[in-house]
Amino acid sequence: MDQYIKYQSVQGGAFTASQNLVDFKIPMSGVYDLRDSFINLNCTLDVTDKPAQAAVGDAIYDFTGEWVSTDTQKLHFQNVACVKNAVLNASRHGRIENLRRCDILRDNLATYTKSQMEDVDESYLDFAQFKAPISRQQYGTFAQLNKSGDVKSRYNIQTPIAIRLSDIFDFCRTREFDTDKAGETHIHLELNRDKLAVRQVMKDADIHPVAVKQATDTPAGLASSNNLLTLGASGTTTPYKFTDLDQSPYYVGQMLLITATHTDGGGDDRADAPAIVNSVVWDKDTGAISLTFEQDWGVPIVAGKQYTNISVKIGEVDSVALNVDSAELVLRRVNNPEGISQINYTTYSTEETNGNGLTSFQNLYTIEPEATNIMIMFPDSADGLLSHNNDITSWRLRLNNEDLTDRDVQRKSPLAFDRLAMTLNSMGDGLANLVQNPGDTTAADWQSTFTTAGFDTLLIGNPLFQTGQQKLLQVNINAGGGGVKKLVLYKQLPRVFSY
């Protein structure tokens, strides 16, 4: 039976914006299935609660990851984007792969090679979470939230950002890699640590519909107000029936702010009184959610008195900070290998240039003789990751003075999609998504998740013929507005690794 083995990174301590290098050394210790191996960046949170909320106890909040940018919306990105540059070496074979800006390459390719449903299905692994398509709820990976019962939710001791090795290196798509033959293997990564942050989600403005935050009046004369909050029952102004727990935004350990009117009025009224949920009970028959609390949110009620007009809000933290405390490599060791003597794979060389805002951009690039495909991407200045430039209107490529198309390629034209599909197929992938948008994790609903114009992507791709010597690629791009700015040229190169 195969087994998983962990190797800690050479570097210890916390990883920061200035300490963002990670190295792993794999000793000569057998055969590994690199396709099922991955890297964990282990994270913790520093949460600072608001003083009034902290005074009543320790609450658990919901957080998700985000990419630091100047955009108010936050794009959805693949975990592999956490890695900026990557190098893979073996002591007996030297350099295997050296990828510069693999974050831009892998993240933008995933927008086209993964369907929307694939992204949703794999969201349990994502550092940055989508909202659920139907319930519009959004739960991160940093806490275990219990939506029923009386077991308090809790933060994870460590929350890993899992990055598949096969997402970083094409070479790591192999099912068998023999370290005894290849020698000690070294993985070197430069992280985008300065681009990783967290934010609170499922805040009050995110809860829909408003009716789920309205509670029934408390029974008159009950001595305690600890367990008097019932939501979704018929006694509310606009009753909401919870037909499934997925519709409920409440969980044990949650901080709620309760507003209510006492029949005596005056100082017994409540306005944003903080209380922590102690238990959640869902009545399947009535569709009501009953909450009890760790503390009284109101005053004891005497005969004939009660609370009315009760509503709740979700408490918000004062601040939260992300810590990346450690990194580990998790390898699947193959106990009964078949024996592979040769690994065919592809890698990329990278060329970063700047269009300097030209509306009629042209440049000549030197391409390796064996290169089979090229991809041109345009990292957005707001985040440095998304290939985005809505000013570009058309382009044309020539290789060794041979036009690769018989006319200019217009953006979003059938010819543009044809060339993109042809390139992805030649690269060993396929075109699975024509929306050309990675998604907005702050979108109000699923219908608007992939409609943010600022997240529209653009990839220019084309297969190349191989030559016996270096070839020349002429790139002509037409644009309006701010013209062509940053661009990155990726050249795909076939390689053979043999023992």
Question: Can you give the pLDDT at residue 211?
Answer: 85
pLDDT digits (tens, 9 = 90+) for 176-232: 999 999 999 999 999 999 999 999 999 999 998 888 888 888 877 665 555 567 776
Indicate the average pLDDT of the chain. 92
* Residue 162 sits in the same domain as residue 225: no
Provide the CATH number for the domain around residue 208.
2.40.30
Choosing from 314, 330, 348, the residue where a domain stops is 314
Question: What gap in Å lies between CA 258 and CA 305, rounded to an integer?
Answer: 18
470-487 pLDDT, tens per residue?
999 999 999 999 999 999
Q: Which residues contact 244 (CB under 8 A, 6 or more apart)?
A: none
Let me know whether 160 and 40 are in one domain: yes
Same domain, 228 and 84: no
User: Does residue 234 surpass a pLDDT of 70?
Assistant: no
Same domain, yes or no: 52 and 114: yes
Q: What is the pTM of this model?
A: 0.92
Q: 334: which residues sit within 8 A by CB, 6+ positions away?
A: 2, 30, 31, 32, 33, 175, 176
Is 299 found in the same domain as 340? no
Amino acid identity for residue 414 in this structure: P
Cα separation of 358 and 391, whole Å? 11
User: Tens of pLDDT along 131-154?
Assistant: 888 888 999 999 999 999 999 999
**Lookup: tokens for 89:** 């070496």
Give yes or no: residues 134 and 151 share one domain. yes
In a shared domain, residues 336 and 470: yes
Same domain for 186 and 213?
no
**Beta carbons of 229 and 290 less than 8 angstroms apart:** yes
Q: Give the model confidence (pLDDT) of 77-110 as tens digits.
A: 999 999 999 999 999 999 999 999 999 999 999 9
Tell me whether strands 31-48 and 159-164 are parallel, antiparallel or unpaired: antiparallel
Whose structure tokens read 């909040």?
Answer: 61
Q: What is 213-232 written as a DSSP string?
A: GEEPPPPTT-S--TT-EEES
Last residue of a domain, one of 283, 314, 345: 314
Same domain, 334 and 192: yes
**What does the block give as tokens for 115?**
């369907």
Contact between residue 190 and residue 21 where contact means Cβ atoms under 8 Å apart: yes
Summarize the confidence of residues 20-44 as an average pLDDT.
96
Residue of 490, 484, 458, 461 whose CA lies nearest to 362: 484
The arithmetic mean of pLDDT across residues 251-255, rounded, is 97
Confidence of residue 339 (pLDDT cuts 50, 70, 90): confident
Residues 184 and 223 in one domain: no
User: DSSP state, 238?
Assistant: S
In 305-405, DSSP assigns E strands to 307-314, 319-334, 342-358, 360-367, 373-377, 392-399, 402-403
- Each residue of 175-188: pLDDT tens digit? 999 999 999 999 99
**Domain containing residue 65:** 3-201+322-498
Residue 22 and residue 93 in one domain:
yes
Same domain for 434 and 305? no
Q: How confident is the model at residue 239 (pLDDT cuts 50, 70, 90)?
A: low
At 444 the pLDDT is 86
Pairing outcome for strands 288-293 and 143-144:
unpaired
How many distinct structural domains can be found in the chain?
2
> Of 268, 284, 314, which marks where a domain is finished?
314
The rounded distance, in Å, linking the Cα atoms of 315 and 114 is: 36
